[in-house]
Structure 1
Amino acid sequence: MTCELFVSKVIDENNVAAFKEFGIEPESFATPLESSVVKFTLDYAKENGGSAPSYATIVTNFPDFMYVPSVTDSFEYLARKIKEKEGKQRIAELINKELPTLYDSSDSDTVISTLQERLQSIKMGTSVRCQKGINVKESATTFLEEYEKRRKGESFKIWRSKFPSINKAIGGGYISGNVYAWFGRSGRGKSVVTMEDGIESAAQGANVLVWAMEMSRYEWLARAYSSLSARQGLVTAMIDGAKYEAGFENRALLTGNLSPEFEEGLRTFATTLPDTLAGNITLRAVDDADFSVRTIRELEADIRRTKADVVVIDPIYYMDFEANTSRTTGGDVAATSIALRRVAGATGAVIHVITQAEEDASEKTDGIRELKPPKRAEVMKSKAILQDAALLIGVDTLAQEGRGILELGKGRNGGEDTQVEIVFLPNYGIVREFETGQAAAQQFAF
């Protein structure tokens, strides 16, 4: 029965890693059914990006297996029960099968030493090794091994931002296993700017997962096509007297109103995209029929299935929140934010989340609005997002003037209060840091 409980919990929590964490293998079980179910689950995960099979798949393949929903016992408790039964089974095999032959063929010293070795092996093989924490005084070897891996870029990854000043301020870019929060008032371009950094990671070879919970699939793709084509400089655009290397006009893509020559260019661009984009982008959009479940558990399954290095969640407050066990205002968002932080650490993904900033009724003077990126105190929905993120990035833009400002708020690795001026012309796929000096002179040359 314990096998059914353990496997059922793995299915419910989509946590195949629990087998490895607690040393549970097909050989841990005495019956062929139990061994086969565990082996099937592990093989399924290898072929499906680490995801567990559904209970329906298990029951279909193993009709005699009894699935038990909503198991509340911990993995550690269940693993101890499994290992206890395994240990007794191995001791019984040792006494009943191995000992008689050993007794008849060996002297007493050999029998005793062999039994001691075999019993110690059984003890080690059936113990639940679940180390909690690390002894810092004895951590030198582990630390230096990790340092060497990091020096070689093997154990973690930095994905550079599209905005050089952000990279400079935070030590090179976005570090795997961290959450980065983008926030701004409604309609100020936070989705566009965050999308640009997601695409930038894909251009560097990352597997990027996008949960677009406000935009339709076509709307998001139109923005992405504008951005990607602008990076290739496929279109030359004159905007307010300045010449830009641009992309396909977003509004024309949305309305299906490109000129014939640009339509031909679009077809060429779209068909060659697999050759020009180094990484991959997996998009799940609000109008996808299979995108009705938006829980933390579903997100982690998607990350593992797509092997995502970078994730964009737009916006976090459209996710299915975790239960508000604290019974406090905003507790559901807080629990979700904490769970996201854990998912980032467990999967090693960079997770970008988007949230709202409080509206500011005083930001206009005489009908004129100046650029004013929101401050950390203006994070809307939950302050837990501020606390759990490695970096907080405020966004404000004046789309009609083609400019904007990004401001770094709380930064775990520095950079707080850094401001980044950007060119903001998303209709042409142009969102980048404002260039100065000679580069700027060349950009605006006629």
Structure 2
Amino acid sequence: MSVYEEQLLSKIVDTGDVKALTRFGIARTDFSTAGGRQAYDFVLAYADSNEGKVPSYATLTAECPDITYIPGVTDSFEYLTRGIKEAAARRMILEKVNGYVDVETGRKYESEFAQKFGEESPESFGNYLRELADSITMRTSVRNQMATDVKLDFEKFLTEYRARKSGESFRIWKSAFPYINTQIGGYFSSNMYTWYARSGRGKSAVVMVEALEAAIQGATVLVWPLEMARYEWLARAYSYLSAKAGVFNANFDGVDYEAGFDNKALLMGRLSEESEARLVEWLRGLNEAVAGRIILRAADDEDFRDKSVRQLEADILETGAEVVVVDPIYYMDYEANTSKTAGGDAAATSKKLRLLAGRTKSVIHVITQAEENPSEKGDDGVRELKPPKRAEIKKTKAVLEDAANTFGIDTLAHEGRGVIELGKGRNGGEDARIEIVYLPNYGIVREIQSVEDAGKFASGF
């Protein structure tokens, strides 16, 4: 048994502070010997039976003869805990690599490291090593942060308030759609936002617009378009950004718009010579037009095999991403379904994403799909705009509970119009409705801004 273990137990006896075991997250498996674990169990059992009191040193040593009582320990609980946990982490590594004999049962265990190395693929073995590293980090973590007292710890609040005021610890990224900003104030760092629509209704286009707008504001944006090729996403992005720059003027149904490069012509490589020359010239100035960065990991990237939350976190940390898009969540590598319930893997993944947003202080936009609605069309066969409700979310309903806001989308691309509807608002905005001009082939996806815009859709909205 290490001296740290004996010092810790002795200090608990001297101070009567049995709650230190819980407060600092000390587990029985952190003790290296059967005698140490016996003493751990005895101290807790004694406290449970004696109104939280601890045994005397005489009682402890009598009941647990393998323990040496050390009087007058002045080292802090935090210091002693760190010593115990660091030793436990080293022990865990050696056990994984060399195998071990259980100190309580005497049972022998073979090397897990050697077994994994021989049986797993290199990629799976790499994931195993990352999980092992995470376990070591957790094993050595010393919990010492006390809960916040609402009445007394106001200085913590004021410190964070001042940091947010100066933009040091908190950012708000404005939406491309002004009414969303009016309703919820924009997208707050450390939050997850969920977008949903039926298949083919523009959810990827709308969220792409939000990502590009954040980059224009100076954000580093990471996009995971998990069902879209790199060139396809870039063509859409360049079409939108060139429309923002007003590269072309176009007239649709009597309304003049600032438009971008024809998306279909970009996809097919069929721009006119004049438009192609304008494209080259415009792209050369793009770096100055977009203050932030846009990092893309697309579906056809050959090295993009790991689509787990763990890999997403690695990408966020590597790029310094402040705004993240996952499109769609159900194409990610889901977390293990430890709850053994239907949809438990999706729920676990959603929860991990929500925690990841908080841990990295990023905004994470998550896209999912809504159930098809066979009654969308009226008797005349005409479909009206009808954004899906929260109950219609498909596959991953957990993303509702984990999101700060949810957005239902519907569009009528052939009519050039669409709707975004807030389905849930932690900070307000629930049931707010944003009417948009939707002409994505020309990079035009924006809120209705003028009488002329509204006039075009007078019969539709």
TM-score by length of 2: 0.69
The answer for the alignment partner of 1:161 in structure 2 is 175
Structure having greater relative contact order (Cα 8 Å, sep ≥ 6): 1
Larger Rg: 2
1:134 CA displacement: 2.3
Residues 208-247 of structure 1 correspond to what in structure 2 (within 5 A)?
208-247=221-260
The answer for the alignment partner of 1:133 in structure 2 is 147
- C-alpha distance in 1 between matches for 2:146 and 2:371: 41
Question: Which AA in structure 2 matches 1:152?
Answer: S
Query: Which of the numbers 143, 150, 156 marks the counterpart of 2:157?
Result: 143
1:331 aligns with 2:392: no
Query: Which of the numbers 423, 428, 431 marks the counterpart of 1:417?
Result: 431
1:79 aligns with 2:140: yes
Distance 1:77 1:271, change over 3 A: closer
The answer for the alignment partner of 1:177 in structure 2 is 190
Report if aligned partners of 1:22, 1:79 keep a CA contact under 8 Å in 2.
no
1:361 CA displacement: 0.3
Report if aligned partners of 2:321, 2:362 keep a CA contact under 8 Å in 1.
yes
- C-alpha distance in 2 between matches for 1:247 and 1:154: 36
Mind listing any 5+ residue stretches in structure 1 that lack a counterpart?
3-20, 31-66, 81-127
Query: Which of the numbers 403, 409, 416 marks the counterpart of 1:389?
Result: 403
The answer for the alignment partner of 2:17 in structure 1 is none
Deviations 1:302-361, CA, capped at 9 Å, x for gaps? 001110010011000000000001111111000000000010000000000000011100
Deviations 1:375-416, CA, capped at 9 Å, x for gaps? 111111122110000000000000000000000001111100
Give 3-state SS (helix, strand or coil) of 1:282's partner: strand
Query: Which of the numbers 399, 409, 417 marks the counterpart of 2:413?
Result: 399
Question: Which AA in structure 1 matches 2:165?
Answer: R
1:150 CA displacement: 1.7
Distance 1:23 1:438, change over 3 A: farther
Query: Which of the numbers 246, 250, 274 marks the counterpart of 2:263?
Result: 250
1:273 aligns with 2:334: no
Report if aligned partners of 1:22, 1:76 keep a CA contact under 8 Å in 2.
no
1:289 CA displacement: 0.3
Question: Which AA in structure 2 matches 1:395?
Answer: I
- C-alpha distance in 2 between matches for 1:216 and 1:300: 22
Distance 1:262 1:313, change over 3 A: same
1:137 CA displacement: 3.0
- C-alpha distance in 2 between matches for 1:434 and 1:276: 24
Give 3-state SS (helix, strand or coil) of 2:395's partner: coil
Query: Which of the numbers 136, 143, 166 marks the counterpart of 1:152?
Result: 166
- C-alpha distance in 1 between matches for 2:410 and 2:325: 19
- C-alpha distance in 2 between matches for 1:258 and 1:77: 55
The answer for the alignment partner of 2:366 in structure 1 is 353
Distance 1:235 1:358, change over 3 A: same
Report if aligned partners of 1:207, 1:307 keep a CA contact under 8 Å in 2.
yes
- C-alpha distance in 1 between matches for 2:138 and 2:244: 53
Distance 1:324 1:428, change over 3 A: same
Report if aligned partners of 1:23, 1:129 keep a CA contact under 8 Å in 2.
no
Question: Which AA in structure 2 matches 1:362?
Answer: S
Distance 1:214 1:22, change over 3 A: farther
Question: Which AA in structure 2 matches 1:339?
Answer: K
Give 3-state SS (helix, strand or coil) of 1:323's partner: coil
Calculate percent identity across the aligned residue pairs.
59
Give 3-state SS (helix, strand or coil) of 1:364's partner: coil
1:272 CA displacement: 1.4
The answer for the alignment partner of 1:188 in structure 2 is 201
Distance 1:76 1:255, change over 3 A: closer
- C-alpha distance in 1 between matches for 2:132 and 2:340: 24
- C-alpha distance in 1 between matches for 2:177 and 2:198: 21
Report if aligned partners of 1:22, 1:129 keep a CA contact under 8 Å in 2.
no
1:297 aligns with 2:358: no
- C-alpha distance in 1 between matches for 2:194 and 2:169: 23
Deviations 1:241-270, CA, capped at 9 Å, x for gaps? 322110000000001111111100000111
- C-alpha distance in 1 between matches for 2:203 and 2:425: 18
- C-alpha distance in 1 between matches for 2:158 and 2:319: 31
Question: Which AA in structure 2 matches 1:332?
Answer: D
Give 3-state SS (helix, strand or coil) of 2:285's partner: helix
Mind listing any 5+ residue stretches in structure 2 that lack a counterpart?
3-77, 88-127, 457-461
Report if aligned partners of 1:202, 1:279 keep a CA contact under 8 Å in 2.
yes
1:441 CA displacement: 8.5
Report if aligned partners of 2:247, 2:259 keep a CA contact under 8 Å in 1.
yes
Query: Which of the numbers 380, 385, 396 marks the counterpart of 2:394?
Result: 380
Report if aligned partners of 2:183, 2:429 keep a CA contact under 8 Å in 1.
yes
1:436 CA displacement: 3.3
Report if aligned partners of 2:255, 2:452 keep a CA contact under 8 Å in 1.
no
Give 3-state SS (helix, strand or coil) of 2:155's partner: helix
1:135 CA displacement: 2.7
The answer for the alignment partner of 2:320 in structure 1 is 307
The answer for the alignment partner of 2:69 in structure 1 is none
Residues 53-72 of structure 1 correspond to what in structure 2 (within 5 A)?
70-71=131-132
Deviations 1:39-61, CA, capped at 9 Å, x for gaps? xxxxxxxxxxxxxxxxxxxxxxx
The answer for the alignment partner of 1:104 in structure 2 is none
C-alpha RMSD of the superposition: 2.8
Distance 1:415 1:69, change over 3 A: closer
Deviations 1:83-128, CA, capped at 9 Å, x for gaps? xxxxxxxxxxxxxxxxxxxxxxxxxxxxxxxxxxxxxxxxxxxxx4
The answer for the alignment partner of 1:370 in structure 2 is 384
The total of aligned residue pairs comes to: 338
- Please identify runs of 4+ aligned residues in structure 1 that moved more than 6 A: 21-25, 438-442
- C-alpha distance in 1 between matches for 2:244 and 2:133: 51
Question: Which AA in structure 2 matches 1:219?
Answer: E
